[in-house]
Each structure stands twice: as C-alpha cells, then as structure tokens.
Structure 1
C-alpha cells in the first residue's frame, strides 16, 4: 500500500535529513485512518498535523469581488472551500453564477456533494437524507428522525459519522454545561453543502427540465432566509474581530443561545467578571427599529447565566441599517453595525 511505501521512504531516506514530507488529502476518512490512525504504517512518524478548514468570510472576501451585501450572499452559496469559491465568475451576477455553476446538470458543482459522500462512505443514501433534512430546517434529533424515518438508535451513529467527516456540526446553547446538553441542534457544516441540500437535491428532476424556473420560483424567493443564517456567522466573526481589536472587551466564549421558543443570535460570556454580550443580526429589507431593542432586552432576562448583578452589553447588526433616531436613543452600552461598519471591521484588520 502507499502508506507502507511511504513508511519505508521515511525510515530509509528521510530519518536523518533536514527534509520534510508533506501529505495532503481532501478525504477526511482516508487521512485519519490510512495516515493518522493507530494501524497505519505511518503511525508515530508524523511531526505535526493541520486540520485545514474552509476560509472564513473575512478570508474569502479577498476572492469574492462583489459589494459587501452580494459578497455575503455569495459566501452563503459557495462557503469558504477554495474550489467552490473560484468556480464563480465575479464579473457575472450572483444569479447568473448560481444558474451556470450549480443548476446546470453539466456543471462541476451540480453533483459535487454526491461525489463527496461517495468518496467518504460506502452507502451514502441515508447520510444524504439526513443532510437534506437538516438543511431544510429539521435540526433536532427528533425532527431529523421524523423527517428521515430513521430510528433514534441508528440515527445517533449516522450523526456521529457525519460529524467526524466535518459534514455536520452539533451545536448546544452557549450557556449549556458541556456537550451532553439535550438541547442540541445540528447544522450542515459547510455553506455550499447547506445550499445544495436545501435547493438542489430536493429539486433534481425540476432542475434538469427547467433550471431557470427552479431558481426564480424556489431559490430566489427563499434565498434571504438561507443567507440570514450565514449573516449570523459573519456577524460572529465581526464580534471576534472587535474583541481582538479592543473595541469590545474580551469574552471567553461566543455563540448562539436558545431556550424553548426564545433565541439570541450571538451571546458572549466573560465568567471571570460576570459580563454578558447579547447581539441580534437582521438580514431584512427594513431598517431595524426600537422594537428589536425592546425584544433583546426582554430576552436577556431569560438567559440564566451569572449573578443577578451581571454586566450586560448589547449589539445590533443590520443589513438595512437602523431607523432614524435609534442610535441617539440608546446609551453607550449599545453598539449598532450596518453593512458598511461590518466591512470596515474586516478591512481594518
């Protein structure tokens, strides 16, 4: 096998030299079992490893030659995988790119997720159904089981496999104590895969007959809902940049919070001195008004964390800005960011 040949090469030729052998692979299962696993001939010979993740929005922004609004929309479609990013022609509109690079049955990206799963898994059918269920909004184990017809016992194994392959991410509320929380949600852990399983996989037959109709009737009207989730991630990136730059005080953990029907897009925790950051992100056509301020203040009371005299800071992120007078009506404990502000945060790094 190739690992055996590499073992011999390392032992016989590289061991006492200053040379370095770098092995790269896109198949997570192959790299972890054949290269890093205990039974691999190469086990014990590595001097380091990098689990290479897709580009963040900030990193991908150097490639996406759109204005900030369309850049966020585009990132919600391609994600940060370089091959997907570079398939788009940024001199064309996002709509044109989606139709030519994804919705065309001859396009490279049309079948890409299916090929990806076939590379990683022997029998991908059930995994495909799970990813589709999660992408369209079934995010709890019970919801996924109901949507796919897979019993909870086998389902947990499928979910674990998809997590190990970096295809699915398990989230718990940021205030939850450990990963054993029963309030977990799952999310497709790649923007392009989330887009593909939400729009392409369920509409294959229609796409092959009338792709323009699928785009105009299904994708285009629903795309703002899809993008809103990505916008939350972009805003979370912005929060970390604000922390690193010193504009925000430090927080040890930043993530989503939910309990029952209530949810807050971004919550930051600073347990050392009992500080809490609470932020909402709105990807809407209307400017944010005083109602969201009142709503966030109300939801803050439901976050069971820290002492009663904890310090709270608030932030609002909005695609369409804010109504006149809102900024002036709020004290210094509130920070407001529109798309121009968000772009400045990333450009100022």
Structure 2
C-alpha cells in the first residue's frame, strides 16, 4: 500500500530513536488507520525486529517471538519457559546492539496472558533502560492499549517515553490519495472517511457510483462487513452499540432521540455512549460558545465518515443489498447522497477556515475556537471565537446546485444576533462557502467584513502551501 503523509508521526519516532538513551513508544488507534504502515516506514533501513502477534496459544506466541529474536541475531533458538525468560533473552541481545523492537497487535498477547504487562515492566526497568534501543508496542484494540499500558493501574504506567494515538486523515490529508477533482473528492471522502486502507480501495479512474457499488455494496467486498469486524475488535456483544450507531447515523443525535430510536433506557444508554466515545466511534458535540462539561445541549455524531455512510445506507438495507445492490444504490443512496455529503462539506469548510487562519496572507481570523452553534431552532454552520480580540466569525456552508445569493447573507446576518457571546460592541466577520458559487454582484454588494469561498478557493486553501 502506498504510504501517505504522517510526517509529524515519523519525525517524532525518528527523533526519539536518534536521541540518547532508551525509548518506549506506544502506537495505537483503530483498525486500518495505518499503524503498521507507519512503523514499517519508520523502521525502513534502521536495524529493527518486527514481531506480529496472532490469536493463538500463548506457548506458540512465545516460541515465535523467541525464534524471531534468534533469527535476527543469527543465534541458535534457546529453550524458553516463560515470557520473563523470553524478555531476558531479548535484553541480553540489546545490551550489545541498539535495535528497534516492534511488537504489533500487542492485545493478542495480553488476551492469552494478562500478566504480560508485568513482564514487560521488568524488561523496561531492568534491561531496556540501560540500552540505546527502542521498544514500540502497537495495537488496534484501543481499550486494551489504554487499560494495559497507558492507564494508571497498569504495571507499565509511567514507563513510556512517548505515544502516538493515530487518527484517520482529515480531508486535507486524505486529498493526496483521492485522485478525483475537488468536488468529487469531497463526495468520495464522505464515503471512505480518512482511514488509509479504505481510501486506497477505491479505483479513482472509475466513477464514485461504481466504487460504492463495487467496494461497499458488494457482499464479497472488504468494506461490506468492515464495521462489524471493527466493533468486534473492541466489544464482546456489539448488537446494542450497532443500534446506537445506526440511530445516530440516521439523524437521532440527542440522548432522548437515541433512546427513542433504540429502545434503550437513559441509564444504560449513557454508559453505551461513553464507551463509544472512548473507542472514538462517536463524538459528543456542544455549541462552540458553550462549556463542554456543563452544557446540556449536546449532540452525538458518528466520528468517522465511512461508519456514518455504512450505518446510514448499508446496515438498514442489508437484505435488499444482498438481493439487488444496484437498486439500493439507484433508489436509496444516490437520491439522498447530496444531503448526506452536505454534512461532510461543513467539516471540510471548517478545515478551510483553519487553513485560512494558518495562512498569514489571508484576511480571515485568527480564531482560537471554531465549531457549530445552535440554540433551539436557530443554527449556524460555523462560528469562530477570538476572545482576546472580542471578535466572532459566522459562516454558512451550502452544498447545493444553485449559486448562493443575497438571502443567505441576510439570514446569516440576522442569526448573528442570536449568538450571545462577547460584548455588545464585538467585531463580527462573516463568510459563505458554496459548492455552486455565488450570484453575480454578491461580492460587490457585501462589505469588507465578508469572505466568499467557492470550491476553487477552498481547493487552493487546502492544497499544500507553495
């Protein structure tokens, strides 16, 4: 698979390994997000030992690990009775030669022996810290990696020298992999999200409709059952979690709405929502002007575009897809795709705002917070806050077939009065984002407090700076 981006993570790993003393890194994140590719790219030509754990008996796991160490050092495989002996053997070898040691899918080892973190603690304290070597533990089970390595109760707590919680690509990062024009790239990203493996499954010489039908709606395709496998990585009984994700993906975003759609009482539902948030499968959102801890005006969103697409269009239509996937695409997905993509477009517009803020030559900003705002029936797609300057940004995003006109600008200006933030004399800045451009004369009619962004201008903002 082609390796994309991840410069910051690579720099962190390379700087750590080149620095004096030992390193103990933890690399974790959801399935398919690119953890293994990152570590393999990092190891490259460096002296390294890479061990991929598997779901098999502990004794066989240990044998394979020791065989891997012996093979690297061209040594006879020793007799090993336990993990303590295995790590002692590795420690003896590292004393003579600096090395990167990667243990991938570490949670599989813990499944078979929950004392493994204690053995590793002894290895780090008594062997690794006296070397110039680096140990990297990697895993797709976020819950296991956090509880067995990062949590305060873990024997390994406080031993790590760094960690990388690898996230899916933003649209700007994913753009390199999506070989469509800017408009279709947004549509495609709304389907795949930023997970590298999902991005690379699409054939960008084919229309998006063809990719959806071939790579998502086909019962033999990898992505057809991917969310179920993802949930089983973390959860023993994923059925209720799947019903919650489907409810959120189909527009039930408040706790009361989710409870009504799933039939799950508010008490248990709260725990399920907390678990899904911890696993990075849903996000809790409050108005940007509100306190995240105190606000009761929360909404829940599916945290990944592909999962949102799958639970919106695939899961509710599984029976029909098995029989006639083309009919599901033509009658259910294609007619609703513009409304679905509109939500992704808002996220891309927020990325464009941050990009504009980072580019000094652009007049927008700066703002320290950017997010959605709503109160009752009133809602604004993007609100930016600059508390030190008593300045607020208010913006709307339109993924429509018609150019944006004066009415949207007037409505946005009127809604600005509902945003109770800052002093009465605050400065207000406005912006409009439009897929189909703007009516003739609009830019000339608006004053200097307004910025208009077409797709071409967003494409420039979200392209690498020259």
TM-score (norm 1): 0.97
In the alignment, what sits opposite 1:173? 287
Give me the whole-angstrom Cα distance separating, in 1, the residues matched to 2:460 and 2:393: 21
Aligned match of 1:257 in 360, 370, 373? 373
Q: Counterpart in 2 of 1:145?
A: 259
Q: What secondary structure is seen at the aligned counterpart in 2 of 1:176?
A: coil
What is the deviation of 1:215?
0.4
Counterpart position of 1:266: 382
Name the residue aligned to 1:58.
172
1:105 to 2:219 alignment: yes
SS at match of 1:23: strand
- The answer to whether the 8 Å contact 1:65/1:71 transfers is yes
Partner of 1:117: 231
Q: Work out the CA distance in 2 between the residues paired with 1:311 and 1:43.
A: 47
**Secondary structure at the residue paired with 2:232?**
helix
User: C-alpha distance in 2, partners of 1:129/1:136?
Assistant: 11
Structure 1's consecutive aligned runs of 4 or more residues displaced over 6 angstroms after TM superposition are none
Q: How many residues align?
A: 349
Is it true that 1:93 corresponds to 2:93 in the alignment?
Answer: no
Is the 1:172–1:179 Cα contact (8 Å) retained in structure 2? no
Tell which structure's C-alpha radius of gyration is larger.
2
Unmatched runs of 5 consecutive residues or more in structure 1: none
Q: Deviations over 1:222-266 (max 9, x none)?
A: 011111111001000010011111222211110000000111000
State the distance in 1 between where 2:158 and 2:421 align.
44
Match of 2:413 in 1: 297
- 8 Å contact 1:274–1:311 — kept in the other structure? yes
The 5-angstrom pairing of residues 160-239 of structure 1 reads 160-239=274-353
Q: Does 1:342 align with 2:458?
A: yes
Is the contact between residue 76 and residue 191 of structure 1 (CA under 8 Å) also seen in structure 2? yes
CA distance in 1, matches of 2:124, 2:448: 60
CA offset at residue 3 of structure 1?
A: 3.2
Kindly state the Cα deviation for residue 273 of structure 1 after the two structures are TM-superposed.
1.8
For residues 188 and 120 of structure 2, the distance between their equivalents in structure 1, rounded to whole angstroms, comes to 41
CA distance, structure 2, for counterparts of residue 148 and residue 95 of structure 1: 31
Per the TM alignment, residue 39 of structure 1 is displaced from its structure 2 partner at its CA by 3.6
Give the structure 2 partner of residue 47 of structure 1.
161
C-alpha distance in 1 between matches for 2:290 and 2:163 = 30
What's the TM-score once normalised by structure 2's chain length? 0.73
Aligned-partner Cα distance in 1 for 2:210–2:222? 15
User: How far 1:63 moved relative to its partner?
Assistant: 0.3
Shift, 1:347, TM fit: 1.6
- For residue 33 of structure 1, report the CA deviation from its aligned partner: 1.3
1:279 aligned onto 2:402: no
Unaligned runs of 5+ in 2: 1-112
Query: 2:444 maps to which residue?
Result: 328
